[in-house]
Amino acid sequence: MGKRGLPFVVRPMEERDIPAVMAIERVSFPAPWPESAYHYELRYGTGSRFFVLQPAGEDRANERGRRLRSVMRRRGISPVLGYAGLRFRSDRAHLSTLAIHPDWRGRGLGSFLLLTVLEEAVQEGAQQITLEVRPSNRVAQRLYAKIGFTHTGVRPGYYRDGEDAWLMALTLDEETVSRLRTLRRAVEARVRTIGRLSHQGASDGKW
């Protein structure tokens, strides 16, 4: 899932990532998943796949990603910047979660992560991908609309605090997949320019 020259990679989530994932989860969702849900999903969730986004490091060509990783290591910052989950049922995929650490939002990383996991869904043979989003979550809705998701229904009182869920879906036909790949190239060009560790979390060691 890593691409030569990109300063960020998306790789499968492992249990050792869970503390960093939970730190993001707690500040990203009004009703965070419990830590045990991630352990359970990673151990037994046969129809699920989870991914994390982090600076690239192993790729020798990727000097920018390696610099970023080594600065984060020195400052004791977790390298996990975001994560996403997919659930598969027959030829459908469901986006079960998606989050970017608040200090890293608004730079294209959410789009990059989402487009990367959508490519994974395509590779797994999914013909359609669905998701739920809160009506109050305008930022996520804009992201999904930009990618091409459309509103397909409402699940009343779906969330634990009683808020409805909007259902959204994207059919992964040939034309859409080709459009998503074009979009991904544009997003990659954007995230290629993120390299300096200038975000607040890094400077105050908040992680």
Q: Which residues bind ligand COA (CB under 6 A)?
A: 28, 98-100, 105-111, 133, 137, 139-140, 142-143, 146
What phi and psi, each to the nearest 5 degrees, are found at residue 126? -65, 135
Nearest approach, Cβ of 60 to ligand COA (angstroms)?
27
- Nearest by Cα to 85 from 124, 55, 113: 113
- Nearest by Cα to 99 from 139, 127, 66: 139
The three-state secondary structure class of 93 is: strand
Nearest approach, Cβ of 205 to ligand COA (angstroms)?
21
Q: Which one, 39 or 142, has the nearer CB to ligand COA?
A: 142
**Contact criterion met (CB below 8 Å) for 180 and 147:** yes
Q: Which one, 61 or 138, has the nearer CB to ligand COA?
A: 138
Q: Which one, 59 or 163, has the nearer CB to ligand COA?
A: 163
Residue nearest to ligand COA (CB): 110
Nearest approach, Cβ of 144 to ligand COA (angstroms)?
8
Half-sphere exposure of 95 (CA within 13 A, CB side): 27
